[in-house]
Amino acid sequence: MSAIPFDNSYARLPERFFARVDPTPVPAPRLIALNRGLAETLGIDPDWLAGPEGVAALAGNAVPPGAEPIATAYAGHQFGHLVPQLGDGRAILLGEVVDRGGTRRDVQLKGAGPTPFSRRGDGRAALGPVLREYIVSEAMAALGIPTTRALAAVATGAGVVRERLLPGAILTRIARSHIRVGTFQYFAIRRDTEGVKQLADHVIARHYPAAAESGQPYRALLAAVIDRQAALVAQWLCVGFIHGVMNTDNMAVAGETIDYGPCAFLDAYDPATVFSAIDEAGRYAYGNQPAIAQWNLARLAEALLPLLAPETEAAIAVAQDLLAGFVPRFEAAYHGGLRRKLGLATAREDDVALANGLLEIMTANRADFTLTFRRLGAAADPAADGGVRDLFIDPTAYDAWNGRWRERLAAEPRPAGERRAAMDAANPAVIPRNHRIEAVIAAAVEHDDFGPFAELTTVLAKPFEEQAAFAAYADPPEESERVHRTFCGT
């Protein structure tokens, strides 16, 4: 019996959906991090994973029994430009497991060597991007945001050439699936309607079984994906997350955050913020993310057109009607999140204007996004207003808004302790601050020191708690520490 209980449904699809390829062995694998709690949830013995056989599997040096390694095929719009063939160029799907909760999950090695889709790349990953994805994906999970997870990180003992020679590593990524909008596009571009249908049937069975009970299952599928993406992007905005590269091949139809390349979190609030060094035009700026998500969903709808109605015009009308639902669904989720962040338990028509008023003065005053909302929890007591005022260049701007906020709070009196607890549960004390991530990467890459990585992941596992021993992790960066650009790990 395999130490990893594989049950591989995607590998049973037709061969044109993927390429069968084994990982390429590495010279000196060394376990950097193992997510023991996640391993147990997956039904995998963490002690086995930490041992020689497990590390060999995580490094790609041995294919465990039951695995069927494949690189999946997909296309995608990259920065608005269609690329007909992309595919897993440095990732290999070992297989799938059904976790203890009954959910099917992919087990993928990222950085495991070249595949037929590598496009002249080496198929490897540098240590820095592996650590970034491990840190941020696990932080997102702790924040309650749907995301791929990090099971393990392994150093390979070999260098990879990027701007310079860097230590190599492999991330073991867990996902509800790695099926993307671009996966549907791959078959649609080839006019492979049967492939689109087989993929849609697989996604319905795996992620949206209720759609199968609908009289129009493919319409129900598109509607369900739209709902999940609207909710997901709203959650991103509520914690100040910027994906950085929202190409259609980086949008998972299961509704999870996937592919943490040049991602980053806001320090000072500004909806025009861009960190990704490859996003020169600001296409994927923080405030653009809802519109981009809707644009990406339109590309999914295009791929599904043959399944939505027999006639093209009728299919387009169905797609347009479903896509029109994105904005109200996003706004309901986002505005609900803002109300919770402001300590409001009921909904009133002017709440959105109240929230937007705060965001506007935060932008004008370069106020820190995370700290402003976290300190508002204490500021529900007027005596504690100083902690928020100090974040504004012009504190009187906050004072003017504060008066409106207090009037609104008075309209729904609740015990102070209850309101504070609700606000603290909606407003994290710590996030993966960009300067902290960069410091962790520098320590690991330059000095082979993983102590900062271990400490940061420990702190981020409890983002809503006040952790006195790690209070400095809540602080925004000094000007000299501020990160202005993040880079894709490819």
Query: What is the rounded distance in angstroms from the CA atom of residue 230 to the CA atom of residue 253?
Result: 12
Sorting pLDDT into bands at 50, 70 and 90, what band is 60?
very high
CB 242 within 8 A of CB 274: yes
Tokens of 85: 């063939």
Mean pLDDT over 219-244 rounds to 98
- What percentage of the chain exceeds 90 in pLDDT? 93
Catalytic residue, from 106, 249, 368, 385: name it. 249
Query: What is the rounded distance in angstroms from the CA atom of residue 354 to the CA atom of residue 338?
Result: 10
- Can you give the pTM of this predicted structure? 0.97
Mean pLDDT over 429-458 rounds to 97
Mean pLDDT over 461-472 rounds to 97
Average pLDDT of the chain? 96
CB 486 within 8 A of CB 286: no
User: Does the pLDDT value for residue 465 go beyond 50?
Assistant: yes
CB 94 within 8 A of CB 67: yes
Tokens of 440: 């962790």
CA angle 62, 66, 72 (to 5 degrees): 80
Sorting pLDDT into bands at 50, 70 and 90, what band is 1?
very low
pLDDT digits (tens, 9 = 90+) for 203-228: 999 999 999 999 999 999 999 999 99
Mean pLDDT over 3-26 rounds to 97
Q: 259 an active-site residue?
A: no
Angstrom CA distances, 131 to 77, 218, 247, 335, stand at 27, 38, 22, 33
- Give the pLDDT score at 490: 52
- How would you class 19 by CB atoms within 10 Å of its CB: exposed for 0-12, middle for 13-18, buried for 19 or more? middle
- Give the pLDDT score at 377: 93
- What percentage of the chain exceeds 70 in pLDDT? 99
Query: What is the rounded distance in angstroms from the CA atom of residue 118 to the CA atom of residue 125?
Result: 12
Query: Which residues have C-beta within 8 Å of that of residue 278, sequence separation ≥ 6?
Result: 79, 245, 262, 487, 488
CB 351 within 8 A of CB 339: yes
pLDDT digits (tens, 9 = 90+) for 111-168: 999 999 998 889 999 999 999 999 999 999 999 999 999 999 999 999 999 889 999 9
CB 115 within 8 A of CB 142: no
